[in-house]
Amino acid sequence: MTTRRQSSWTAFLVAAASLLACTAELTQPSGSGPTLGAGMPGVGMPGASKGGSSSAGAGGVATSGSGGSHVGNGATAGASVAGAPPAVPTVFSRPGLAARLSKFEYQYSISDVLGVTVLPAELDAAAGGLPDDTGDGVFKHIADKQTSVEQHALAYFQVGEAVAKRVDFAALAARLGTCTEATPACGTATIQALGRLLFRRPLEERQVDAMLAVYSAGLGEELDFADAMVWTLLAMLQAPEFLFRMESETASQEAPRDLDGYELAARLASFLWLSVPDDALLDAAADGSLVQAAGLDAQVARMLTDPKAQRFTEAFGTDFSRARFASFEGATDADRAALNESVIATFQDHFWTQRGSVAALFTTTRFVVNPITAQLLGLTATGSGLQTVDVASLPQRVGFLTHPGMLAGMGDRTVGSFVNRGKYLMERLLCRNPISVPDDVAAQIDAFNADTAGFNERERAEVRMSRPTCWGCHSQFEPLAFGFARFDGAGRYVGETDPDGKQLVLDGWVPTGAETEPPYADVASYMQVLASEPVVQTCMTEHFIAFATARTADELTRVEAEKSVGKEYQTNGSTLSAMVSAVAHSSLFRTILLVPPTTGAGN
């Protein structure tokens, strides 16, 4: 009888969760705790040191064009007004957005709070697990680019149920400091303590009552404390307050406001730990210290010393490299996994062991490799695990962009397509994207391929240079690929000549849009340019802001990166911790642009 009633109650939870997901307000309730701003001048209010105006929506201002202009939202067009430069934003804040947990955040939040590991099969979309994050651009977890499909609802239920059944509730209660008797008092205490972590703030009375009703129904079915909590936890893991990081986004008038302590704690935990806040971070939100400059600094420093902070650089490096999508000829899943492992290990070593700067990534010769990566480098690995190597003696190996995993992630098959590599590098080094190929030009591609059959990539580029219709677009990105001409699609060094004995020249330039664009002669000089070029370093800062805020980079991001975050980062030593601190103090991270509530039918 109990099994039948449990199944019936499970079906009810599915229906209730679906209804809640469709009807719940995606905003936080009032009474949010202390607000940010005390001790932090210039928080994006009109007239403040970083202030000004903005009505850029969730996507922000998209400006574009060749010649150094900035492109937002993955498209290139003309200036916002024909013949005029884009307007410079003066308010550095954005409207709120209910940011759904990424797969990284989902698994780490459950692990950190419940002490349960989400199994590989439960994360495998192809096997019916959680769907993959589908955001476009560099980072796949960007919240304003996510879509939701039916599999999300089903997977959240199925994975949540499996996770809840694996929780050791006696051990969890001991960590939470609650009791385990099958009583309303123990249920209430556990719901409040657990909900504070999963929902990223103390629960309101109505939220406690809703979860207590589920727990009490379990007791009514003669379940013990642990089994009743399985029901309750399943409901909590399907609640919008867990699955979405929500911020109150309405007010009587349109204006930016400071995040309250709990909202700021949620953003910090998502940024640095890919998880929910821990007790210490929530305590700092509750007592108001987190919204003070010194308190924010103290929490950032504490969080960076926690091993969980390495999740952030792992996720950053995974998406930035795309090694896991390597498509060179003959690539296997084992190759892709090995390349991704090596790239991430190189990132982690550079930032956490060497304490290297973002700029120094472009000139490092220290790689962390496994046997597959070592073979692509032309080295012999000693042992089966990861090992650190200096690649300075290898031809043209300077900087992390010459790591086989980075080169293989550029989307090449056999030869190293300048077009594929150039577009990849344009997005990552210049924070721009090319325009779509016009239909009349697309119709000429087959003829171009026939005309250049047997040409190497540089020769094909030279032909495009002679055709204004082609080079008008390709000039924005293709020169970024010239320096990698001696690497094939797998990132192997192929020598100074192609199979026909023709020289593979390396000289090129970085298309920054400046009157004089910086040239390079080989990989070493190319990487020096990237390490020192302000346009490139501003773009890298934009990537960190976009990752931290889980929002698509736009004109607001570029200006904040150039004028505020970038300068603070350089002033404070150009380390990873300096970058994190600068981003955490930025207006785009600490504020939200309020939108007046709408009225009328359908609202």
pLDDT at 135 over 90: no
Tokens of 22: 């469709």
CA 563 → CA 25, 522, 538, distances in Å?
36, 31, 9
Residue-level pLDDT at 252: 52
pLDDT tens digits for range 501-537: 999 999 999 999 999 999 999 999 999 999 999 999 9
Residues 137, 17 share a domain: yes
Residue-level pLDDT at 442: 78
The Cα 466–Cα 424 span in angstroms is 23
Task: Among 214, 245, 276, identify where a domain stops.
Answer: 245
Domain residue limits at 432: 313-532
**What is the arithmetic mean of pLDDT over 20-32?**
36
Residue 167 lies in a domain: yes
Give yes or no for a contact between 316 and 138, defined as CB atoms under 8 angstroms apart: no
pLDDT at 568 over 90: yes
**What is the arithmetic mean of pLDDT over 453-469?**
92
- What is the chain's length? 603
Residues 366, 445 share a domain: yes
Residue 443 lies in a domain: yes
3-state per-residue secondary structure call for 223-267:
CCHHHHHHHHHHHHHCCHHHHEECCCCECCCCEEEECEHHHHHHH
Residues 369, 221 share a domain: no
**Beta partners for residue 99, in sequence order:** 245
Percent of residues, the chain, with pLDDT higher than 70: 82
Residue 42 lies in a domain: no
Count of domains forming the chain: 2
Residues 318, 229 share a domain: no
Residue 574 lies in a domain: no
With cut-offs at 50, 70 and 90, classify the pLDDT of residue 315. very high
With cut-offs at 50, 70 and 90, classify the pLDDT of residue 41. very low
Task: Among 191, 212, 245, identify where a domain stops.
Answer: 245
Residue 425 lies in a domain: yes
The helix (H) or strand (E) run that includes residue 366 is: strand 366-369
Tokens of 200: 């990223």
Tokens of 456: 């190497």
pLDDT at 191 over 90: yes
Residue 479 lies in a domain: yes
pLDDT tens digits for range 53-91: 232 233 222 223 333 333 333 333 333 333 445 556 655
With cut-offs at 50, 70 and 90, classify the pLDDT of residue 142. confident
Residues 505, 361 share a domain: yes
Residues 326, 429 share a domain: yes
Residue 148 lies in a domain: yes
The Cα 591–Cα 576 span in angstroms is 22
Task: Among 217, 245, 273, identify where a domain stops.
Answer: 245
Residue 210 lies in a domain: yes
Mean confidence (pLDDT) of the chain: 84
The Cα 227–Cα 246 span in angstroms is 29
Structural Rg of the chain based on CA atoms? 26
| Best CA proximity match to 433, nearest among 99, 66, 44, 36 | 66
Residue-level pLDDT at 314: 96
Residue 396, CB-side half-sphere exposure with 13 Å CA sphere: 26
User: Which amino acid, 381?
Assistant: A
Tokens of 518: 């910086």
pLDDT at 233 over 90: yes
- Map residue 595 onto helix, strand or coil: strand
The helix (H) or strand (E) run that includes residue 475 is: none
Q: Which residues contact 83 (CB under 8 A, 6 or more apart)?
A: none
Residue-level pLDDT at 597: 56
Residue-level pLDDT at 164: 98
Classify residue 348 as exposed, middle or buried by CB count within 10 Å of its CB (0-12, 13-18, 19+).
middle
Residues 332, 198 share a domain: no
Tokens of 204: 């309101």
Give yes or no for a contact between 372 and 335, defined as CB atoms under 8 angstroms apart: yes
Residues 235, 317 share a domain: no
